[in-house]
Amino acid sequence: MQRELEEARQRLVERLVHEGYIRSEHVKRAMLRVPRELFLPEDLRHLAYEDTPLPIGHGQTISAPHMVAMMTELAELEPGMKVLEVGTGSGYHAAVIAEVVAPSGTPREKWGHVYTVERIPELAERARFNLERAGYSDRVAVIVGDGSKGYPSAAPYDRIIVTAAAPEVPRPLPEQLRPGGKIVIPIGDRYMQYLYVVEKLPDGRLKKRPVTPCIFVPLVGEHGWREHESWV
Ligand code: SAM
């Protein structure tokens, strides 16, 4: 089973390269390295290398591998960067980000760090377990809370990656970003979402660029959608 999964992982990564989702060596290396099966419920492991989102409980999903690849490429990460992820879910995307900013086998003093915020405590707990078992707990901190407010304690960040759809860029996020930093974020409602790259220019202004239509679960929080309000 293990060998089959590894072969399936290689085939998927080759396909994502061929389809243009993976463009850089470091994202390719990270996706070859992180075992997606360790971030899935036991009964779904055999689907780990299908290019599709999968349920992880509490009405939430692990994103499809092509979306993880695309968002990671758009963020233009480099080793040593400090990254905030909003929406930990299973912890898989956080592990992929960690493998780029703090690559396994490189000196720890050069490692960057990933802070990832999840609003559902049970998912955060499970993600911590997954990350530990996959060998990323020293590079990724999982925080329970409302990530629409960011995570000011570790700010400023070089990059922010949001993996749930917001009505607009949550105001606290650019405030917690370094000038020259980037936010990758899906913006929109249930019917229509676009993935955006938002750049914070040296003078603090934001430059927003839509990239592609997408489908994410809602960002629920003070600067996202309200829990009982319209996810219209
Ligand atoms: N990145 C995840 C992975 O690799 O499995 C997939 C994330 S899933 C598409 C979106 C996640 O965002 C869900 O786990 C959801 O509970 C979480 N979420 C929604 N609103 C949030 C908020 N305000 N703060 C933190 N997490 C939030």
Tell me: the pLDDT tens digits for 163-201? Answer: 999 999 999 999 999 999 999 999 999 888 999 999 999
Reported as half-sphere exposure (CB side, CA atoms, 13 A), residue 162 has a value of: 38
Q: What is the pLDDT of residues 53-107, one digit of tens each?
A: 999 999 999 999 999 999 999 999 999 999 999 999 999 999 999 999 999 999 9
CA distances from 29 to 9, 22, 41, 151 (A): 11, 10, 24, 28
Predicted confidence (pLDDT) at residue 230 exceeds the cutoff of 60: no
pLDDT tens-digit readout, 116-155: 999 999 999 999 999 999 999 999 999 999 999 999 999 9
Which residues line ligand 1 at a C-beta cut-off of 6 Å? 60-63, 86-87, 89-90, 92-93, 117-120, 123, 146-148, 163-164, 216-217, 219-221, 224
Domain ranges of the chain: 2-213
Centre of ligand 1 to C-alpha 80, Å, is: 24
Q: In whole numbers, what is the pLDDT of the chain averaged over residues?
A: 96
Q: Please tell me the residue having the least CA distance from ligand 1 atom 2.
A: 89
Residue 75 CA, distance from chain mean position: 10
Look at the domain 2-213 and name its fold: Rossmann fold (3.40.50)
How far away, in angstroms, is 220 Cα from ligand 1 center? 9
